[in-house]
């Protein structure tokens, strides 16, 4: 029992939010009479929150470096508008238009990163100006009107599903197979990580806790894939999200670039004295954020099948909230990609659950604000206990 409490204490940020997500899911599953976890609703939950989760992945890197980005919603709207001009009005092939839009998003990030990293204007001011600038440009580009519809191939980014190569009937067999493969990969990765820790004589959890953790992960993965298999299988956007999470988790945990990002957020002067090129790190973090904001805008436009002047409204607030709820620290240096995803799912399940039980937007906004405040208070409380 002491080992369990010690393990939880050392990982309170990560496990605390996972427990909160499970609790909220169970609560709304009961309150909605089982509607929340129906296959159709789970698929809708993934589709509805995909663009926020993409933003959260980029935003957590920005927050870890000690910055903030208020412009991502406006950038997403602007890129969606450009995509509509290219694909609908100019008849440009969707693949080429998507590449150009991602490059433009990266350039916008580079523009903002230059002012933050090299001119030393606070990110809050730069991105607030960017929020106003790109919202205005969106309205100018669209002329105050919506542009639709997008080509069918582009819409599949957000509304399409991975085809069943095994030709299953009512059950999407490929999804079941992918769930099993993913389970085996998780088992292999966890065992490999534990073996490495044992090899270098790091402290590890007792074997029964390790097995229980693996069993829970495998159960969740296979339950989710089975539920999705009874509908249409894996949405295309879930595959994109999975690839992003794997890549960014690897970068932040295993690569020098990730360590430099954490070092910059932890103590900029110490990182600089250690040889970290802090200006370059800040610059590239904003370039990355611009590219992911562009991807988010494309996903949202594909889902809506339209580019509108009001697209992207409050996206930045939802992404920032997801990061803080997922354990990122407002002072920088702390946070994980996985945590940001968990935070985004907490927000998504709450939004979906509150809508299903008929709570109005006014109540939803108030409850979300309270949850964000409590998450940050929880972070400060933990810091005060460790200091």
pLDDT digits (tens, 9 = 90+) for 246-283: 999 999 998 999 999 999 998 989 999 888 999 999 99
The reported pLDDT for the residue numbered 107 is 97
Which pLDDT tens digit goes with each residue over 370-379?
888 887 777 6
Considering only 6-15, 22-31, 260-269, 333-342, which range has the smallest mean pLDDT? Answer: 6-15
Banded pLDDT at 9 (limits 50, 70, 90): low
Q: Residues 345-370: what's their mean pLDDT?
A: 87
Tokens of 359: 């709570």
The reported pLDDT for the residue numbered 164 is 84
Considering only 153-162, 184-193, 205-214, 256-265, which range has the smallest mean pLDDT? Answer: 205-214
All structural domains of the chain = 7-160+235-362 (1.10.3470)
Q: Is the pLDDT of residue 208 over 70?
A: yes
Which pLDDT tens digit goes with each residue over 292-309?
999 999 999 999 999 999
Q: Percent of the chain beyond pLDDT 70?
A: 94
The reported pLDDT for the residue numbered 200 is 85
Contact call for residues 79 and 101 (beta carbons, < 8 A): yes
pTM: 0.92
The segment with the largest mean pLDDT, out of 108-112, 153-157, 211-215, is: 108-112
The reported pLDDT for the residue numbered 362 is 81
Contact call for residues 248 and 59 (beta carbons, < 8 A): no
The 3-class SS string of 3-55 reads HHHHHHHHCHHHHHHHHHHHHHHHHHHHHCCCCCCCHHHHHHHHHHHHHHHHH
Tokens of 261: 């990002």
The reported pLDDT for the residue numbered 205 is 74
Contact call for residues 221 and 186 (beta carbons, < 8 A): yes
> Which residues have a Cβ under 8 Å from the Cβ of 174 and sit 6 or more positions away?
162, 163, 164, 165, 166, 168, 233, 234
Which pLDDT tens digit goes with each residue over 54-72?
999 999 999 999 999 999 9
Contact call for residues 108 and 75 (beta carbons, < 8 A): yes
Q: Is the pLDDT of residue 245 over 90?
A: yes
- When the pLDDT of each residue in the chain is averaged and rounded to a whole number, the result is 89
The reported pLDDT for the residue numbered 119 is 95
Q: Percent of the chain beyond pLDDT 90?
A: 58
Inter-axis angle of helices 72-84 and 39-64, nearest 10: 120
Q: Is the pLDDT of residue 212 over 90?
A: no
Q: Which residue has the tokens 């001011």?
A: 125
Report the DSSP beta bridge partners of residue 235.
161
């Amino acid at each position: 029992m002491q080992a369990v409490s010690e393990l939880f204490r050392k990982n309170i940020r990560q496990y605390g939010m996972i427990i909160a997500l499970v609790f909220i899911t169970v609560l709304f599953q009961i309150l909605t009479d089982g509607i929340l976890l129906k296959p159709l609703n789970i698929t809708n939950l993934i589709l509805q929150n995909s663009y926020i989760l993409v933003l959260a992945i980029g935003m957590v890197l920005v927050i870890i470096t000690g910055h903030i980005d208020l412009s991502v919603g406006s950038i997403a709207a602007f890129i969606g508008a450009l995509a509509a001009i290219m694909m609908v009005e100019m008849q440009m092939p969707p693949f080429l238009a998507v590449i150009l839009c991602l490059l433009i998003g990266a350039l916008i990030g580079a523009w903002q990163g230059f002012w933050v990293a090299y001119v030393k204007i606070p990110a809050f001011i730069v991105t607030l100006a960017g929020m106003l600038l790109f919202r205005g440009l969106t309205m100018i580009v669209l002329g105050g009107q919506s542009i639709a519809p997008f080509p069918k191939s582009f819409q599949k980014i957000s509304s399409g599903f991975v085809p069943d190569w095994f030709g299953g009937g009512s059950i999407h067999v490929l999804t079941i197979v992918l769930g099993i493969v993913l389970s085996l990969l998780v088992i292999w990765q966890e065992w490999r990580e534990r073996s490495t820790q044992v090899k270098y004589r790091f402290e590890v959890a007792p074997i029964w806790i390790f097995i229980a953790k693996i069993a829970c992960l495998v159960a969740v993965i296979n339950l989710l894939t089975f539920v999705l298999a009874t509908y249409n299988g894996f949405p295309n956007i879930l595959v994109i999200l999975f690839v992003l999470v794997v890549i960014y988790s690897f970068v932040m945990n295993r690569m020098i670039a990730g360590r430099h990002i954490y070092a910059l957020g932890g103590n900029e002067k110490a990182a600089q004295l250690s040889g970290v090129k802090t200006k370059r790190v800040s610059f590239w973090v904003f370039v990355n954020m611009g590219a992911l904001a562009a991807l988010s805008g494309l996903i949202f436009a594909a889902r809506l099948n339209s580019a509108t002047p009001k697209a992207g409204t409050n996206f930045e607030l939802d992404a920032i909230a997801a990061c803080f709820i997922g354990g990122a620290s407002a002072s920088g240096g702390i946070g994980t990609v996985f945590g940001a995803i968990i935070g985004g799912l907490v927000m998504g399940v709450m939004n979906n659950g509150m809508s299903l039980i008929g709570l109005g937007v006014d109540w939803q906004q108030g409850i979300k604000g309270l949850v964000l405040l409590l998450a940050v208070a929880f972070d400060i409380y933990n810091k005060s206990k460790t200091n």
